[in-house]
Each structure stands twice: as structure tokens, then as C-alpha cells.
Structure 1
Amino acid sequence: MFDPVINSLPAFFAYFATATAMLAGFVALYVMVTPYREISLIRAGNEAAAISLGGAVIGFALPLAVSVAVSHNLHAMIAWGLVAGVVQLLVFVAARLALPRINQNIPEGRMASGIFLALLSIAVGILNAGCIA
């Protein structure tokens, strides 16, 4: 009864560990690329920073999860995860072009900018996930 689950555990752990490492790597890279320090801002109670970073994390995790589900090997999953990371970084660049003051607004706690960036990240993450074949 549990044999299929037990037999699948090594693959589960390999995909889960890789996806978790990729998520942590993405967050580390994302907070290095943005000109403000999300983690410090979040610790200080800045909701705009928390929402915008949370949106980027969800926007990355969605296509990463789909890549886990559809990939037949770990290398393909990693490749799609890298694509998802690049796409999310481009979303931030696009948001900066659309709202040039976003770099000041989020550290100032302006929720509209944080929400906009989060929803843009999630929307693009959904599209990205849908495009993975």
C-alpha cells in the first residue's frame, strides 16, 4: 500500500531540496539586486517591503512548482527555475521603469508601490508557470 510512496521518497527529497535551495538562492539574489534592504525594512515593520518581497517569492515559487511537477529530470527543473528567477528580476526592472520612484516608495513604506510590485510579480509568475511545458 505504501510502496509507491516509499519508492518515490528519494525523488521527492531530491526535488524538494533542490527547489528549496533555489528558492533561498533566489531570495538572496533578489535582495542583493534591489537598491533597498528588504530584510532590514521588514524587521523594522515596513509592510510595503514585506508585501513586495512576498510577491516576488510567490512569483518565483509558482513556476518553480510547475517545473517540479512537469520535469522528468532534475536538470530540466533547475533550468526552468533559473528561467523563473531571471523573469522575476526582469519584473523588478520593469516595475522600476513604470514607477521610477518605487526605489524610494518601498523604503518609505508606501503600500501602493509594494502592492503593485507584488501583484506584478505574482501575475508574471502565473504566466511564467503556464508557459512551462
Structure 2
Amino acid sequence: MDHFFENTFVQTASYFSVAVLGIIVFLAIFELVTKYSNWVEIKKGNLAVAMATGGKIIGISIIFHYTISQHASLLGMLVWGVFGFFLLLLSYFMFEFLTPSFNVDEEIKNGNYAVGFISMVISIGLAFVIGASIIAT
């Protein structure tokens, strides 16, 4: 059985499966902390929500990219991916905290493209920082 898990195709499928499952779970967690329903708003054509959600998907994927490239085991990849996600989630709350003049969630829900775009850029940018930090460990 060990030989089976040493197969490159099996390892690739395993990393892919764990990363996709992680993206789904982490998006569900983001859905719980936002004051709007991502998929309802996207279905309505809310581009600000689509940008913010897309940034989260890219951000989570970037973190998984770094964890896969730096950790030889699925467990190591998953542990560091979860840790990286929580750092990304923390950055979401910091963005909200650092903008006291407006409510980020409300602005995104109301279709404010500028706030949706900045939210996307923060998610992507900080995912690279988180990923680089994962490499350093």
C-alpha cells in the first residue's frame, strides 16, 4: 500500500483533493463571518462580492501552493494550510478594523467596486506574505 501512495499521480490527486476541500471549507467559514451571502449576491450580479470572493479563492489557493511546495506530507500541507487560512481570515478582520469610516461588508454588499477590489487585493497580497512565511519555517 505504501507504494501506491508514493505514486506521483496519486500524490498529485491527493494534494489537489485536499486543497479543493480546503477551499470549500474555508469559503464556508468566510460565508459565516460576512454579513451577506456570497453566492446569493454573486447570482444577483454583485461584482464587488465576486471580486472579494475571487480574491479569497485566489488567496487560499496561493497559501496551498506554498504549503504543497514546502511540505512533503499531506498532514504538513494541511496543518500549514489551515494556519495560513486563519492568518488570511485575521487579515479580513484587520481590514474591517482599519477602515472605521465605513463598514467593509456593507460596502461590498451594496456593490462598491472599489471596496471589493481592495478586499481582493488584500487577500491576494497577504496570501503571498503568508506563503513566504510558510516557506521560512
Do both share a fold (TM > 0.5)?
yes
Distance 2:109 2:27 in 1: 18
In the alignment, is the contact (CA less than 8 A) between 2:96 and 2:104 conserved in 1? yes
How much does 1:86 deviate? Answer: 0.3
User: How well do the aligned residues superpose, as a CA RMSD in angstroms?
Assistant: 1.4
Distance 1:7 1:120 in 2: 37
Question: 5+ residue gaps in structure 2?
Answer: 1-5
- Aligned partner letter, 2:26: F
Provide the secondary structure at the position in 2 that maps to 1:99: coil
The alignment status of 1:89 with 2:70, answered yes or no, reads no
Provide the secondary structure at the position in 1 that maps to 2:7: helix
- TM-score, with structure 2 as normaliser: 0.88
The alignment status of 1:115 with 2:117, answered yes or no, reads yes
- TM-score, with structure 1 as normaliser: 0.90
Distance 1:128 1:121 in 2: 10
Deviations 1:27-85 (A, max 9, x none): 11111111111111110000000001111111111011111112111110001110121
Question: 5+ residue gaps in structure 1?
Answer: 1-5
For 2:108, the equivalent position in structure 1 comes to 106
% identical aligned pairs: 25
Aligned positions, number: 128
After superposing on structure 2, the runs of 4+ consecutive aligned residues of structure 1 that deviate more than 4 Å are: none
Deviations 1:71-127 (A, max 9, x none): 111110001110121012111101111224212111110111101111111110011
For 1:58, the equivalent position in structure 2 comes to 58
How much does 1:7 deviate? Answer: 3.1
Distance 1:49 1:105 in 2: 9
The alignment status of 1:126 with 2:132, answered yes or no, reads no
Provide the secondary structure at the position in 2 that maps to 1:132: helix
In the alignment, is the contact (CA less than 8 A) between 2:63 and 2:85 conserved in 1? no
- Aligned partner letter, 2:84: A
Distance 1:7 1:21 in 2: 21
Distance 1:99 1:105 in 2: 11
Distance 1:95 1:74 in 2: 31
